[in-house]
Amino acid sequence: MHSAPDWDTFVQQEDGPPHLRANLQDLQHPAGDFLASLEAHGVPVAFDDEPWTLQKMDDAVKKGCHPTAQKHAAFIAQEMLEFAESGYWTILPHSEVRHLPGLRGSPAHMKEELDRKDRFLADHSNWGVNEHTLALASKEAMQFGGALYRLLYLIRHADPKYGIIYLAKFDLKDGFYRLHLQPKDALSLAVVLPRH
């Protein structure tokens, strides 16, 4: 972080090139202009409460992360190293960023899985980060719940002239990490990691 004159410059150096395609403003889609804005400026994050005080952030760091994260500290260290090498995360000591405006923290958490690799989570539902985050995207952007019913409806009402219907499910690994945050807002989604 000391290699840059300010936080915004540091983030832009760390981010690397955007992962969205060029010329999104020419995309013939209702979301074209919105995606072009994200590519040019990054994803904004806004809150409906006051910025955290230095004391509140220090208290969050002192409180630490979820017990599952402590239990899997070595796994999280390896996972975060991979994320950092991919350019998705930057790992900094709290002492280096605690003075920066807009800093908030969420505890690291592990979702322990039965038959697959455990998953690292940034638990933004804790300490009020999710609760105070403003929804800036259109309501159509995220559709939670009812996916099965929407699919069944589309299958039932599909035009038979196009033949047999095929379904596929894809997991876009790290998909949201490919959208850069606006530099000034990256601090608001910081994560308190296990001490390692």
Between strands 119-122 and 105-111, the pairing is antiparallel
Give 3-state DSSP helix, strand, coil % of the chain, rounded to 5.
Answer: 45, 10, 45
Per the model's pLDDT, the better-predicted residue between 77 and 139 turns out to be: 77
Rounded to an integer, the average pLDDT of 169-178 is: 66
Per the model's pLDDT, the better-predicted residue between 161 and 179 turns out to be: 161
Residue 161, pLDDT above cutoff 90:
yes
pTM (2 decimals)?
A: 0.76
Which tokens in the block code for residue 109? 């958490």
Percent of the chain past pLDDT 90, that is, above it, reads 39
Amino acid at 22: A
Per-residue confidence band for 55, with pLDDT thresholds at 50, 70 and 90: very high
pLDDT at 17: 63
Residue 177, pLDDT above cutoff 70:
no
Contact between 65 and 120 (Cβ < 8 Å): no
pLDDT at 184: 87
pLDDT at 108: 92
Q: Name residue 192's beta-bridge partners.
A: 107
pLDDT digits (tens, 9 = 90+) for 84-140: 888 788 899 999 999 999 999 999 999 888 888 888 888 888 888 989 998 887 776
pLDDT at 72: 92
Can you give the three-state secondary structure of 126-169, one letter per residue? CCCHHHHECCCCCHHHCCCCCHHHHHHHHHHCCCHHHCCCCCCC
- In 3-state terms, what secondary structure has residue 112? coil
pLDDT at 171: 66
Residue 35, pLDDT above cutoff 90:
no
Helices (H) and strands (E) in the chain, counts: 9, 3
Per-residue confidence band for 16, with pLDDT thresholds at 50, 70 and 90: low
User: Within 13 Å and on the Cβ side, how many CA atoms surround 168?
Assistant: 3
Average pLDDT, the chain: 85
pLDDT at 121: 87
